[in-house]
Amino acid sequence: MSIHIQARTVRHSTAAQFASIVPSITSAPSLVPTPPRRFTEGPAISTPTIESRPKAFELFHHEKPFKLHLGGILPQFEIGYETWGTLNERKDNVILLTTGLSASPHAKSHLGNRKDGWWEKFIGPGLPVDTSKYFVICTNVLGGCFGSTGPSSINPLASEKANKPIRYGMSFPMVTIWDMVRAQFRLLDHLGIKRVHSVVGSSMGGMQSLAAAALYPDRVDRIISISAAARTHPYSIALRHVQRQVLMNDPGWQGGNYYDTDQFPSNGLSMARQIGTITYRSGPEWEVRFGRKRANTKFERNFKPDFMIETYLLHQGKKWLGQYDPNSLLYISRAMDMFDMADRPLRDPNDANALQDPIASNQCLLDLEAEDALLLDEKTQTDYLHTHYLTNGMSTIQCPVLVIGVKSDFLIPSWQQKEIATCLKAAGNAQVTHFELDGVFGHDTFLLDFANVGTAVKGHLDIDLKHPVPGEWHI
């Protein structure tokens, strides 16, 4: 016997600027979007009630205070998520799909939202993430703006004190990848799911998959990490720093207090997105796609956008307006900067008794106490001559792992995926498979290369754990 749960996703009403994802401050204090006004399918003669319409998303509400890794506390939080497929009776066919920096939980279209999801071609019956076998859950991360609690959410404590709705804004506490993962596992607890078949993620999602397996080794059967890093490289930090600076220097940002005002940091958000787009794709692709083509050969030569690559970047920047909260960009990008598996927390701040062994029982590491004091103090800093700190941080990950990198990715270079695989093997994990893909799509390969990425993902999800095939492959 199986339990079927209707697929749902976060969807926001359309309106100018940020009003499309954040309701008026006079509305209910939540990010729950207005239900769709009508079915987009079925006979027109039947107009169902709101209660009978397919829901666009599911919302998990955690009512207790939630302590964060860096010391902050959320008095409560919500997680927006959607699901596909059927949860079996044992509740052991679950795939937790984790997202990148800007992605919503809408990875696949369904009755509640017919718009194509960001991994549309990868999810479904018979596809790499096979919904005829697996029950797939995709969440919006803590700090986001697609249903989950973030800077645009109502601050319940401040609102109670002021006797009116007050948004968090920049008073929202700093969040980390560890916090995002712990919030997701609170959702799994709520759904009665004790183990997941796999955690699958790309980019920041790949960081989350590593963190999930490290924090919950007894609850994760296998993981897939695509175009991710075990620790953020200074080059990636520098790029995101520039994104944040152009955003915060827009007068419309107003110190993060642009909510419910007549100003919005449109230029800053657009520029930040354009910078991001440059890092997501690669030069070889753009050489083929755009070359030096002009948008209009009849235009007078001046400093307005002239080349097609320029108009493409402008288009990408405008697409984000009204779809993403600038403050969420600040918080989530900083969480990526801070991520370092060498800094794996040994306990959950919400449970003082939940200590974890930092070293796997079958592993012998260097005596860290004998290391140079300076190196010990900076063990979470980038030090590529001393990867044993990373090895130590990933030592609890002993499940089968698929790591995929892309040669043309310069945001998170392929050597960083090789570093993940190398450290996992050094930590005693004998079930590590590493693929390095060729191609011209750069960091966004996980969205575009269905043949190679899809085949590798499906193989890892479906392989019999009794006969693993670890190794290193170049495609």
Residue 443 known to be catalytic: yes
Cα 186 to Cα 60, 139, 180, 213: the distances in Å are 9, 12, 10, 15
Q: How many CB atoms are closer than 10 A to CB 260?
A: 14
Identify which of 131, 121, 97, 103 has the alpha carbon closest to the alpha carbon of residue 5. 131
Residue 167 DSSP class: B
Residue 409 known to be catalytic: yes
Choose, from 409, 434, 444, 460, the residue flagged as catalytic: 409
In 115-233, which residue ranges form alpha helices assigned H by DSSP?
Answer: 156-162, 177-190, 204-215
Residue 295 burial by Cβ neighbours in a 10 Å radius (0-12, 13-18, 19+) = middle
Cα Rg for the chain, rounded, in angstroms?
22
Q: What DSSP string describes 9-75?
A: -------SGGGGTS--TTS-SS-PPPPPSS-SSS-TT----GGGSPPS-EEEEE-S-EE-TTS-EES
Cα 62 to Cα 5, 76, 79, 148, 193: the distances in Å are 20, 6, 8, 11, 16
CA pair distance 246, 237, nearest whole angstrom: 14
Cα 13 to Cα 16, 101, 135, 288, 328: the distances in Å are 10, 21, 27, 37, 19
CA pair distance 460, 365, nearest whole angstrom: 29
Structural element, H or E, at residue 3? strand 2-4
Q: Show the beta-strand stretches assigned E in 99-205.
A: 123-124, 129-130, 135-139, 198-202
What's the N-to-C CA distance of the chain in angstroms?
41
Choose, from 197, 443, 444, 449, the residue flagged as catalytic: 443
> Reduced to 3 states, what is the DSSP secondary structure of residue 78?
strand
Q: How many CB atoms are closer than 10 A to CB 24?
A: 11
Paired sense of beta strands 77-84 and 135-139, if any: antiparallel
Choose, from 203, 209, 227, 328, the residue flagged as catalytic: 203
CA pair distance 108, 129, nearest whole angstrom: 11
Catalytic residues: 203, 409, 443
